[in-house]
Structures are given as structure tokens and as C-alpha cells.
Amino acid sequence: MKKLPATSAELKDALAAVFPGLPRDFGAWGESVLEDAGPTYASLLREFALYFERNADTFPDRQLRRFAELVVRCEQAGGPIAEALQACVVGPLAQAPDSRFGAFLEAARAR
């Protein structure tokens, strides 16, 4: 089984591996006023959600499948990353029933 992201930096790398078209400065800013504090899971996924929503219709099936598999692995592990995915990506996508991603997510959950 693939290793789950344990930090926001690892999550950023995992997303970039699935979506190589992410902007170069993706995840460069955190939520904290402290200069050395990096992005949180939630701040990273909110930024990713904007990218995903804008480009969802252009992603090939392979990317959507790989992202769905990542989401399901994180959901199964639980914790802060699963909560952030639900709040920032999965929950909002559930409100868009015509989303192509929904079918891939359901298929990944059924495995």
C-alpha cells in the first residue's frame, strides 16, 4: 500500500504527483501569521479545491482515479488530513452531483 502523507508538505507532493499541472507556487502560503509556519492541511486543500474546480473537466480519467484513491486512503486512515479533505474537497464536490470525480470516488470506496 502506498504511504499516506504525514505532513502538509507530503500532501503537497502527493497532489503534485497526481496533478503535475499545479501552479509552481502551490502551497507556498500558510494560514499562520508566523513567518516560518507552513500551510496546514486545510489551507493547502482549500487552495487545491480552487484549482480542481477550475480544471475538473479537463483532467483525464487516470488523474481523477489516482486522486480518488488518495482521498480514500486518507479517509480510511482518519485524522486531520481526512477531516480537511472532507471539509475542503469531498464535501463541496458532493454538492455538485454532475461531477465526474464523484464516480471515481465511489468506485475507489467500493474496492
DSSP string, 20-49: TTS-TTTT---SSSSTT----HHHHHHHHH
Asked whether 42 and 88 are in contact (CB, 8 A), the reply is: yes
DSSP letter, residue 10: H
What integer pLDDT is reported at residue 15 of this predicted model?
96
DSSP assignment of 69-95: HHHHHHHHH-SHHHHHHIIIIIHHHHT
Within a 10 A sphere around the Cβ of 90, how many other Cβ atoms? 21
**Global pTM value:** 0.87
Residuewise pLDDT in 10s, the chain (111 residues): 578 999 988 999 999 999 999 988 787 665 555 555 678 899 899 999 999 989 988 999 999 999 999 999 999 999 999 999 999 999 988 777 678 899 999 999 998
